[in-house]
């Protein structure tokens, strides 16, 4: 991470024209702090009469010191997958609903970022997962995920049947509606709804979570992030794999999905005083009295 931050990218929620006002306000504020501001090309479509350089996400990954993402958790997921392999740290400004990944608000973003520009921030590195689909002897697809990879049915016409191996060792054959492989970040997303435990984001682990398994003894399993997971499809009619709900690929019989932790971590910056447990209390309403 390059600090102090000299070039900052501003990235807004896709297809959200209402982001223009707050984003331009933040751009003007950063410019007054002697920071060079660039804007994502898709975000720039909703901005008018601005003076900021427009770059693609790929270009942003090569030239900026920090990216500020304005939107919800979905926007952060998408941008993190693109920019984290480039080593770009990210800050989130919440304009969504839940906001597990976006600490700042539209009301306090200038105040918080002003402090962060002077080094008053907490660095948090989070795990990404990498997956490849092997068909025969050929790799036919690959993708990254920040939350989770999900194998699921596209039609309600029967259970998935698949085999799971870990580091080459046979684990089980399973029949279920699907399988989630989640990072600790994703443990508060789909995996939580499927009954899996919440994992602290600093843990170097992945969790395998069956979705509505036919056998009740098939329970969530937590493994080290260096483990190599293999998922072999034994029944693959209308089966698809999703990555953070942004990328998908249709599977065929005997396709093998190989999953492991990605060597490059996502780097999130939080304002001083940030607490993951406070986030859990606030977002999951644990602070409400019965």
Describe the strand order of the beta sheet including 129-135 as a list of residue ranges: 138-145, 129-135, 256-261, 229-235, 160-166, 169-176
Q: Residue 73 catalytic?
A: yes
Question: How far lies 229's CA from each of 3, 221, 226, 262, in Å?
Answer: 37, 12, 9, 13
Contact 225, 208 (CB under 8 A): no
Residue 239's region, left for phi above 0, alpha for psi from -120 to 50, else beta, is: beta
Catalytic residue among 40, 73, 103, 244: 73
DSSP3 helix / strand / coil % (the chain, rounded to 5):
25, 40, 40
Contact 251, 151 (CB under 8 A): yes
Query: Among 221, 17, 27, which residue's Cα sits nearest to residue 109?
Result: 27
What positions carry a catalytic annotation?
73
């Amino acid at each position: 991470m390059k600090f102090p931050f000299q070039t900052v990218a501003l990235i807004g929620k896709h297809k959200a024209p209402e982001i223009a006002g707050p984003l331009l306000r933040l751009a003007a504020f950063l410019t007054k702090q002697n920071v060079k501001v660039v804007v994502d090309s898709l975000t720039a479509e909703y901005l008018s009469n601005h003076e900021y350089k427009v770059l693609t996400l790929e270009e942003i990954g090569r030239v900026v010191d920090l990216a500020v993402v304005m939107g919800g958790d979905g926007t952060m997921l998408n941008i993190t997958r693109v920019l984290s392999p480039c080593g770009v740290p990210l800050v989130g400004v919440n304009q969504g609903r839940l906001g597990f990944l976006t600490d700042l608000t539209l009301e306090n973003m200038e105040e918080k970022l002003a402090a962060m520009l002077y080094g008053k921030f907490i660095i948090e590195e989070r795990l990404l997962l990498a997956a490849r689909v092997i068909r025969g002897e050929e790799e036919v697809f690959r993708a990254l995920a920040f939350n989770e990879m999900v194998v699921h049915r596209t039609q309600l016409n029967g259970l998935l049947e698949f085999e799971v191996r870990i580091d080459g060792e046979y684990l089980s054959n399973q029949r279920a509606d699907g399988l989630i492989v989640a990072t600790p970040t994703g443990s508060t997303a789909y995996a939580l709804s499927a009954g899996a435990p919440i994992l602290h984001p600093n843990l170097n682990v992945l969790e395998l979570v069956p979705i509505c398994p036919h056998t009740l003894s098939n329970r969530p399993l937590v493994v080290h992030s260096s483990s190599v997971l293999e998922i072999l499809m034994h029944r693959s009619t209308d089966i698809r794999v999703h990555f953070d709900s942004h990328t998908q690929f249709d599977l065929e019989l005997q396709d093998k999905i190989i999953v492991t932790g990605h060597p490059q971590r996502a780097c999130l910056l939080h304002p001083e005083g940030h607490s993951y447990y406070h986030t859990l209390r606030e977002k999951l309403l644990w602070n409400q009295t019965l």
